Amino acid sequence: MYVVKEGDDLWTIAALSGKTLEELMALNGIQPGDYIIPGMQLVLGFGGPVEPTAGPGAQPSPTSIPATPTPAFGTGQICVLLFVDLNGDARFEETELPLPDGEVSVIDVNGVVAGEQTTSDVPEGHCFTEIPNGDYNVSAAVPVGYNPTTAMNVPVRLNPGDVQYVEFGAQASAALGGDGGPGGQRSPLLGVVGLALLLAAGGLGYMASRYGRETPRSLR
């Protein structure tokens, strides 16, 4: 027998008992969609044949069932850093600084938020502590004026006692061509060339106008 504890699931119990999930469910009459709750007793198997003992009148004793190992449950940490990716190579370097005013979050496979935080200028980023072991999705959102240079969603498997580190990079929009590219600020050289063309066009217009006025007098 196995007594269900807080955080247990059928997959883990079946694996530890050396059975398939279907075998465990059949042994206990569990149907798809049924839940297990702490304190519930699950049958993992049955004892072997009864071995007789020596001597007249002796009572047979059943074969003992070995103790079932207890699943490993615990907590760990997930540390997240959002940094300014100056060279845009999607890799954190010592010369690059943390990026404040972003958002980072840790969500489990059931969609439950295990932690969320607004980023700051702390070089180590932010560590979410006492996170139960399991599978999580770590995500980040960059502040206004920045574009991400890395993936903004990372799956993480956390084992008891683990410390997992996740880094997200972002670069200022101007560094990616937001201000100096098409639709942004124009080059000063183009402004000078445009002004010169405008002055030349004005000069040609003046010459044409003057020539038009003087030609009739020269023909008289």
Judge contact between 61 and 53, C-beta under 8 A.
yes
Predicted local distance difference test score (pLDDT) of residue 218: 43
Shared-domain flag, residues 117 and 167:
yes
Entry pTM? 0.51
Shared-domain flag, residues 169 and 82:
yes
pLDDT per position as a tens digit, 99-118: 999 999 999 989 999 999 99
Shared-domain flag, residues 100 and 146:
yes
pLDDT per position as a tens digit, 48-104: 544 444 455 555 555 555 555 555 678 999 999 999 999 999 999 989 999 999 999
Domain presence at residue 86: yes
Predicted local distance difference test score (pLDDT) of residue 139: 96
Range of the domain at 141: 75-176
Predicted local distance difference test score (pLDDT) of residue 37: 81
How many other CB atoms are found less than 10 A from the CB of residue 218?
A: 6
pLDDT per position as a tens digit, 109-164: 899 999 999 999 999 899 999 999 999 999 999 999 999 999 999 999 999 999 99
Shared-domain flag, residues 89 and 37:
no
Rounded distance between C-alpha atoms, residue 49 and residue 45, angstroms: 13
φ/ψ region of 29 (left if φ > 0, alpha if ψ in -120 to 50, else beta) reads left
Q: How many domains does the chain have?
A: 2
Nearest C-alpha neighbor of 128 from the set 147, 151, 156: 156
Shared-domain flag, residues 101 and 27:
no
Q: Which residues of 18-37 are buried (b: 16+ CB within 10 A; e: fewer)?
A: ebeeeebbebbebeeeeeee
